[in-house]
Structure 1
Amino acid sequence: MSKKVTIHPLKTGVQGLDDVLGGGIPEYSFNLISGNPGAGKTTLCHQIMFALATPERPALFFTAFGEPPLKMLRYQQQFTFFDSDKINESIHFINLSDEAATGDFDQVLARITQEIVAFSPALVFVDSFRSVLREAEHQPEDANNLQRFLQLLGLQLTGWQATTFLIGDFVSDSGSHQILTVADGLLSLEQSVERNSMVRKLQVIKMRGQATLPGKHAFRISSDGVNVFPATIVHKDPEDVGEASEALLSKKRVAMGVPRLDDMLGGGLPSGHSLLIAGPTGSGKTVLATAFLAEGARLGETGVIVAFEQTPGQSWIRTLDEMIQGRQIGLINVRALDLSVDEIVQRLTNLIKEMKATRVVIDSLSGFELAVAPTFREDFRESLFRMIAVLSGLGVTVLMTSELEDRYTDLRFSPYGAAFLTDAIIVQRYIEVESCLQRVMAVVKVRASSHSNEIRRFDITDKGMVIGDPVSDFEGILGGQPTRKKTTKSVE
């Protein structure tokens, strides 16, 4: 009596979905796939079916008042997961339209039972089951009992040890409460159009016996089918934070690729740090980011750049194209306007692991925000926190750029309130000297490390970024206040 029943999760074959489900679909479970028209319910179920079905574990796919099987297969075969060899061998399609049209649950149940006896399936799909229920609602109340039908169906399928998926719009339909209580698992899919972007989200509302990832997770439908991007959950224990702070003090330094900048940072950027480069248009943020990657390539360290803006083409440095072609730099070039931060994090994480990269550039946060669909911008700041935490966990050194309006008389670091999330900050800006604009930069912070607080001039030449001398006390930068040379130790 002390032994526990082991529930075996079935791998769905849908990238990212097993992580959200807590390991996969529980074997022999009774599941509902709910969503509005066009949300991707049928595509998701087909992808799961083709991934799991084998001659030893056959699948039955019942259709009711939805698309006829031939029409449905015509479109589903466009996906790469579609395998025509499995049709009529591992996968069988059955049309329930005649039985469903009667509204008689007994006839529907009898036909399903007949086919289950004939094929002994391990997987059963009914699309659209909600249409069967709606047809029955038009019949006299004493025609059949819905609750009785659902219980018999569940017992029938469980008795045959079949993992079942009923497809329809159950969540938004108030009349579906009876079937919601019977189900072991409930996945809700939704889609919305905001401006020029299509946003799709998936949520596991219910999954008995498994610890699922809470919240809504973005997903995309491509030629490969459904791809889910699980939202990253970040857990930080106070002890872990304390240990991390101790470790920062002993980190090795990463060369930036710009003469004098390493000295300003106290010997280079500590490995594994995240650095924010903030400044107005044309101040040299992307030039510095490119030098950072080029220095890594020179030292034999691979890198990755997520480019939301145009990349530089200066002749003074090996172009990014050359480094990309040489497999020294990996590129994620983003121009879509319907992304989620979680999608970018997944693509970035996969490329970092594939290339074993140690340096990452995100250029820029301003372009990043524009690429994110409007519905995801509401929690953009929280998403940045999760992204930085994920990259920190991978041990890579991250450089991010941020566009700032230069107001000349005040000092800001990020319009996203992201400055506190980063380990180091460099600010670039313009000053007016004798009726000419000059570029200057300063290191604002380097967590747990000494650094210079001098404000230094710099130029961008055909040989790259050249850092000059500190600005004199009499030139005045911030509202006419003089600056002084000294070294400070970060208190963070």
Structure 2
Amino acid sequence: MSTNVHIKRLSTGVPGFNEVLGGGLPEFSFNLIAGPPGSGKTTLAHQMMFALATAERPALYFTVLGEPPLKMLRYQQQFQFFQTHAINHSVRYINLSMDTLAGDLGEVLRRIVGEVETYSPGLIFVDSFRSVVLASQTQANPNNNLPQFVQQLGLMMTSWQATTFLIGEYFSQTESNPIFTVADGLIWMGQSVQRNSMVRQMQIMKMRGQPSLPGLHTFRINQTGLEVFAPVQNAVKPKAAQPASRARLGTGIAGLDEMLGGGLPQGYSLLVAGPSGSGKTILAASFLASGAQQGEKGVIAVFEQSPNRLQSPELLTLIESDRVGVVDSHASDLSIDEIVHRLLGEIERLGATRVVIDSLSGFELALAPTFRADFRESLSCLVSALSQAGVSVLMTCELEDRYTDLRFSPYGTAFMTDAIIVQRYIEIDSRLMRVMAVVKVRASAHSDELRLYEISDEGMVVGHPLKSHEGLLGGRPSLMSPPTQKGH
């Protein structure tokens, strides 16, 4: 029989934060939330406080030399997590500014102890603890002993059986500070600005007694508060393994299904590569509409144009009826983890089985500059996460038609997908025609023909195979040679 002490973990109420912490916040732990101004420390503290505070576990929020309580409340009320009815009941604010200005750490400690003994809180917040330290350093008080103050505060808060948070403005993780040693948990928050994008990230530098996730984790502040995006590998709940013999999914284009060997195998990722105007988005819309006709729901991630400009009335109808969900972002500061979370959230909400990403070119531009250097790795994570989720994925990719070479992706990532369709232009009898080919369908027979296709008001129609006299072997230009120019 195990005699190990079990530490209860509190759910923070911050989406994604429990996963990053390693399962939640250890009860009765002594934590430091640190980082530069504007990084979201106070908002994180309030979001956790309103999620955790109850009549049985009340919270005390000590304000020091930063914002006075009224000013702080004015801004925190703008977030959806704020609960007005909790003020002066399960949540109380105590202003320590006058005690701090006196510069006597002993008096500050006595004031904190007195309020704690009066209200017996289960949650304690001191914001900003850094202000207490700075005020003590500016006073010529020989009785101020910062290490002793920190040690006493830590011991007292532990003995009070309260979960404690010290919020402080620190600019470097390498600062020598006794509080870094005493704290059970150290949450570092920061932000970086590149061009017109701002990336917010946090790091769990220490969390005693549990395996927190290493590395930097992106987060966003919106009207709901903070949302933390755990690493991709931790965001996916793997589905049951697919059977060796997979069902085939129709694309809604009969000729293309034939070329694929009966449709796209269920759970596969398909890359549709082609130049501008070749019909990639039309094919993607047909893929989702075909699924809807079979009772399947889908999700489309749009990075280049708004959904109402997809030029597919049928797809717009599916979106309006919530049979197709939309992840629509034109932000320039996304991370791969945030994009995957948005997609997985829509997939789970709808029970979707088909996903479209239109397009990878827009996806790359949507990433913050700091993440674009690792775009290939980001794309690999995205494909892997969606594959583990058990959905079938169609991705479009803008591909410049150079005529003299045959490429499937400008990123060197075609090997990551299970199937590839390439679209190209050729010139026949002074007309620009479209052709497509199925380059690969992993572990499946498929057509090796080049087929002409047309785009009309009815959608995409795949025609007959391209004949030699239509440009492959005759005197007219072929797919692999540049078009002729009149007068030369």
Tell me which interval the TM-score lies in, with the shorter structure as reference length.
over 0.9
Instruction: Give, in whole Å, the separation in 2 of the partners of 1:367 and 1:175.
Output: 40
Instruction: Give, in whole Å, the separation in 2 of the partners of 1:235 and 1:201.
Output: 17
Q: Tell me which residue corresponds to 1:386.
A: 381
Match for 2:480: what amino acid? G
Write the deviation string for residues 403-423 of structure 1: whole angstroms up to 9, x where unpaired. Answer: 011111111111222211111
Q: Tell me which residue corresponds to 1:294.
A: 289
Q: Tell me which residue corresponds to 1:12.
A: 12
Q: Does the CA contact (< 8 Å) of 1:249 and 1:449 recur in 2?
A: no
Match of 1:441 among 431, 436, 441: 436
Write the deviation string for residues 319-357 of structure 1: whole angstroms up to 9, x where unpaired. Answer: 222111222211222222222222221111111111111
Instruction: Give, in whole Å, the separation in 2 of the partners of 1:96 and 1:275.
Output: 60
Q: Secondary structure at the match of 2:233?
A: coil
Q: Secondary structure at the match of 1:180?
A: helix
Q: Secondary structure at the match of 1:452?
A: coil
Task: Map 1:326-345 to 2 at 5 A.
Answer: 326-345=321-340
Q: Tell me which residue corresponds to 1:207.
A: 207
Q: Tell me which residue corresponds to 1:119.
A: 119
Match for 2:383: what amino acid? I
Distance 1:189 1:173, change over 3 A: closer
Match of 2:259 among 258, 261, 264: 264
Q: Tell me which residue corresponds to 1:479.
A: 480
Q: Tell me which residue corresponds to 1:276.
A: 271
Deviates more, 1:405-414 or 1:139-148: 139-148
Q: Tell me which residue corresponds to 1:415.
A: 410
* Cα RMSD for the two superposed structures: 2.2
Task: Map 1:350-361 to 2 at 5 A.
Answer: 350-361=345-356
Write the deviation string for residues 25-58 of structure 1: whole angstroms up to 9, x where unpaired. Answer: 1101111101111111001100100110111101
Instruction: Give, in whole Å, the separation in 2 of the partners of 1:58 and 1:91.
Output: 6
Distance 1:312 1:219, change over 3 A: closer
Distance 1:397 1:26, change over 3 A: same
Match for 1:288: what amino acid? L
CA offset at residue 433 of structure 1? 2.0
Q: Secondary structure at the match of 2:232?
A: coil
Instruction: Give, in whole Å, the separation in 1 of the partners of 2:174 and 2:345.
Output: 41
Task: Map 1:123-142 to 2 at 5 A.
Answer: 123-140=123-140, 142=142
Q: Secondary structure at the match of 2:149?
A: helix
Write the deviation string for residues 423-443 of structure 1: whole angstroms up to 9, x where unpaired. Answer: 111111111223321111111
Q: Tell me which residue corresponds to 2:153.
A: 153
Q: Secondary structure at the match of 2:49?
A: helix
Write the deviation string for residues 205-246 of structure 1: whole angstroms up to 9, x where unpaired. Answer: 11111111221111111111111111212799xxx9xx97xx
Q: Secondary structure at the match of 1:260?
A: helix
Q: Tell me which residue corresponds to 2:425.
A: 430
Write the deviation string for residues 267-305 of structure 1: whole angstroms up to 9, x where unpaired. Answer: 111000000001110011001101111111111111111
Instruction: Give, in whole Å, the separation in 2 of the partners of 1:432 and 1:112.
Output: 81
Instruction: Give, in whole Å, the separation in 1 of the partners of 2:61 and 2:25.
Output: 17
Could you tell me which runs of 5 or more consecutive residues in structure 2 were left unpaired when the two chains were aligned.
473-477, 483-488
Instruction: Give, in whole Å, the separation in 1 of the partners of 2:310 and 2:374.
Output: 36
Q: Does the CA contact (< 8 Å) of 1:287 and 1:312 recur in 2?
A: no
Q: Does the CA contact (< 8 Å) of 2:151 and 2:182 recur in 1?
A: yes
Instruction: Give, in whole Å, the separation in 2 of the partners of 1:2 and 1:480.
Output: 75
TM-score (norm 2): 0.92
Q: Secondary structure at the match of 1:288?
A: helix
Distance 1:314 1:222, change over 3 A: closer
CA offset at residue 6 of structure 1? 0.6
CA offset at residue 478 of structure 1? 4.3
Q: Does the CA contact (< 8 Å) of 2:35 and 2:190 recur in 1?
A: yes
Aligned-pair identity (%): 59
Deviates more, 1:80-89 or 1:142-151: 142-151
CA offset at residue 98 of structure 1? 1.9
CA offset at residue 8 of structure 1? 0.8
Instruction: Give, in whole Å, the separation in 1 of the partners of 2:349 and 2:215.
Output: 28
Q: Does the CA contact (< 8 Å) of 1:12 and 1:51 recur in 2?
A: yes
Match for 2:336: what amino acid? V
Q: Tell me which residue corresponds to 1:166.
A: 166
